[in-house]
Structure 1
């Protein structure tokens, strides 16, 4: 049996192999990160540079942010400012000193 190539659009992170998330699912992922005590952040990048390790940070991480709506508003503001860029949500885990979760919200 031969290995088959996964035929789909460009993949940017783990969730991109799943069907697109609904607005409610995005909200639940952000709420999970906040409940874990992780610090939300928003990043963006040109599509042609998306595979780079370095994305532009939209403002500073939202240290201590407890409002999912505030994070969603910042994701939307970044998308309005850079409509042709990919916009992703990042949650930083202070304890592990790393990203706890990352996913693209706007393609």
Structure 2
């Protein structure tokens, strides 16, 4: 087990060191990968939702909702535009995208697309 990587996390650098959702443990997603993940959410019939929060509050279960979930939205460009609008309005906050599964009544997907900066 000596090749297992240690993911350092610290309170002094919560914005960059903390891991959120599965993709945080992988290299940053490219624009093409983000599009593919959004297309996956759409193909599953899940409703995209966008949330944001300050880096120091990201460990709590409560993130601010950006507008309402995009019920029935199937256009990837429209979803990306809303993610960008949220990031532009809150440039210091983490921004994540969720895929809400109506059948399971849970989030089927969740990924942080923008990492904020600590104050």
TM-score by length of 2: 0.85
2:7 aligns to what? 6
Task: Say which SS state the counterpart of residue 6 (structure 2) adopts.
Answer: coil
Q: Quote the Cα distance in structure 2 between the aligned partners of 1:36 and 1:72.
A: 17
Written as runs of structure 1 = structure 2, the 5 A alignment for 1:33-72 is: 33-72=41-80
Structure 1 residue 4, shift from structure 2 partner: 6.4
2:99 aligns to what? 91
Q: Quote the Cα distance in structure 2 between the aligned partners of 1:88 and 1:52.
A: 14
Q: Quote the Cα distance in structure 2 between the aligned partners of 1:58 and 1:28.
A: 21
Structure 1 residue 12, shift from structure 2 partner: 1.1
2:36 aligns to what? 28
Structure 1 residue 31, shift from structure 2 partner: 0.3
Structure 1: which 5+ residue stretches go unaligned? Answer: none
TM-score by length of 1: 0.94
Structure 1 residue 32, shift from structure 2 partner: 0.4
Q: Quote the Cα distance in structure 2 between the aligned partners of 1:47 and 1:12.
A: 11
RMSD between aligned alpha carbons?
1.6
Q: Quote the Cα distance in structure 2 between the aligned partners of 1:20 and 1:75.
A: 16
Structure 2: which 5+ residue stretches go unaligned? Answer: 10-16
Q: Which moved more, 1:7-16 or 1:18-27?
A: 7-16
2:12 aligns to what? none
Q: Quote the Cα distance in structure 2 between the aligned partners of 1:62 and 1:4.
A: 37
